[in-house]
């Protein structure tokens, strides 16, 4: 597995908190590092940024490449249970267990202070991971996340192939379902562009808004007129996300 890591200058003197950034469909460990523009403020705030790839690579599985919505580049941050994917596509465990252990062992990181953020499919990853493991992450935020994969075409295509045909298995990786089971101790920040091509068919933030209201989950959902799904949108608001995380991490 590949990942990118930014180490702020403060890490030369003391362990620093860690913010994970999970990227979306078609992205690699380089995308956020190059396009999100998070390093400048992370240097001021003293945050280590960890930006993993979106799936294993070079798996050789039939159907793992050639479709931008499934397989390599589209791991959906689940632990697959269906063959052949279950042998390699275990992004949930990778992000929650394997990667933090590797960071703790090799970098001046205080992993007891970790936050998680993501975009689109990575926003889905950040929300589901934080909701499933609130003891591991002190803060969570997302840009244009997939919040209800069980109900939208991206999820309806990928989740059955990774997890089988039972909707209960999809619900275990669906932020709208998870927040009803267990809330996150802190406000979730979500930014969404109103000119996002995927807003109505794939993202549907109103479903998460409603689920959070019903569950009593504090949510700050900000909608921005004129902004699309791209990293230009992310780079416009990334500072607010870093500050949101720094409030509890630093
Ligand atoms: N390939 C898709 C777009 C995929 C897409 O927008 N991916 C988002 C994440 S869901 C992304 O961050 N792409 C990388 C980039 O914008 O640099 C299309 O042609 O519609």
Nearest atom (ligand 1) to Cα of 24: 9
Task: Choose one of 23, 25, 145 to mutate for the ligand 1 pocket test, by most ligand atoms within 8 angstroms of C-beta.
Answer: 25
Q: Mean pLDDT for the chain?
A: 98
Q: Residues near ligand 1 with C-beta < 6 Å? A: 24-27, 31, 35, 68, 119-121, 229-231
For residue 170, the tally of other CB atoms under 10 A from its CB is 23
Residue 71, C-beta contacts closer than 8 angstroms, at least 6 positions apart: 55, 59, 61, 63, 64, 65
Q: How far apart are CA 104 and CA 121, in angstroms?
A: 26
Q: Domain 3-249's class?
A: alpha beta
Of 60, 183, 202, 62, nearest to 119 (Cα)?
202
User: What pLDDT does 150 receive?
Assistant: 98
Task: Choose one of 4, 22, 23, 26 to mutate for the ligand 1 pocket test, by most ligand atoms within 8 angstroms of C-beta.
Answer: 26
Is-contact 245 115, C-beta < 8 A? yes
User: What pLDDT does 168 receive?
Assistant: 98
**Beta-bridge partners for 90:** 79
Complex prediction ipTM: 0.90
User: What pLDDT does 29 receive?
Assistant: 98
Report pTM.
0.98
Per-residue pLDDT tens over the stretch 84-128: 999 999 999 999 999 999 999 999 999 999 999 999 999 999 999
Q: How far apart are CA 195 and CA 201, in angstroms?
A: 13
User: What pLDDT does 11 receive?
Assistant: 98
**Confidence band for 175, pLDDT divided at 50, 70 and 90:** very high
117 HSE (CA, 13 A, CB side): 29
Active-site positions?
Answer: 120, 196, 229
For residue 134, the tally of other CB atoms under 10 A from its CB is 15
Q: Could you give phi then psi for residue 54, rounded to 5 degrees?
A: -95, 0
User: What pLDDT does 208 receive?
Assistant: 99
Q: Could you give phi then psi for residue 102, rounded to 5 degrees?
A: -65, -40
% of the chain exceeding 70 in pLDDT: 100
Nearest atom (ligand 1) to Cα of 230: 16
Would you put residue 249 in left (φ > 0), alpha (ψ -120 to 50) or beta?
A: alpha
Q: How far apart are CA 46 and CA 115, in angstroms?
A: 13
**Confidence band for 185, pLDDT divided at 50, 70 and 90:** very high
User: What pLDDT does 88 receive?
Assistant: 98
Annotate 179-240 with DSSP letters as a single string. HHH---SSPEEEEEETT-TTIIIII-HHHHHHHHHHHT--EEEEEETT--SSHHHHHHHHHH
User: What pLDDT does 231 receive?
Assistant: 98
Would you put residue 216 in left (φ > 0), alpha (ψ -120 to 50) or beta?
A: left
User: What pLDDT does 230 receive?
Assistant: 98
Report CA(25)–ligand 1 centroid distance (Å): 6
User: What pLDDT does 182 receive?
Assistant: 97
% of the chain exceeding 90 in pLDDT: 100
Nearest atom (ligand 1) to Cα of 231: 16
Is-contact 235 40, C-beta < 8 A? no
Report CA(34)–ligand 1 centroid distance (Å): 14
Q: Could you give phi then psi for residue 44, rounded to 5 degrees?
A: -75, -45
Per-residue pLDDT tens over the stretch 4-51: 999 999 999 999 999 999 999 999 999 999 999 999 999 999 999 999
């Amino acid at each position: 597995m590949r990942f990118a890591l930014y180490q702020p200058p403060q890490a030369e003197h003391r362990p620093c908190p860690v913010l994970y950034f999970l990227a979306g469909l078609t992205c690699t460990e380089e995308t956020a590092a190059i396009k999100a523009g998070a390093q400048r403020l992370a240097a001021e705030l003293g945050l280590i940024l960890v930006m993993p790839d979106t799936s294993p690579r070079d798996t050789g599985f039939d159907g793992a490449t050639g479709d931008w919505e499934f397989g390599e580049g589209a791991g959906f941050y689940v632990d697959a249970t269906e063959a052949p994917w279950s042998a390699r596509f275990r992004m949930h465990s990778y992000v929650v267990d394997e990667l933090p252990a590797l960071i703790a062992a090799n970098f001046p990181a205080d992993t007891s202070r970790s936050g998680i953020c993501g975009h689109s499919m990575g926003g889905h990853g950040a929300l589901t991971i934080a909701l499933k493991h609130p003891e591991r992450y002190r803060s969570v935020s997302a840009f244009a996340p997939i919040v209800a994969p069980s109900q939208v075409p991206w999820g309806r295509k990928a989740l059955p192939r990774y997890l089988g045909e039972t909707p209960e298995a999809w619900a275990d990786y669906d932020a709208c379902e998870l927040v009803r089971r267990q809330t996150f101790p802190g406000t979730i920040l979500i930014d969404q562009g109103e000119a996002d091509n995927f807003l109505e068919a794939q993202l549907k933030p109103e479903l998460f808004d409603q689920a959070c209201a019903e569950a009593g989950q504090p949510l700050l959902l900000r909608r921005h007129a004129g902004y699309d799904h791209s990293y230009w949108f992310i780079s416009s608001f990334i500072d607010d996300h870093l500050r949101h995380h720094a409030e509890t991490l630093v």
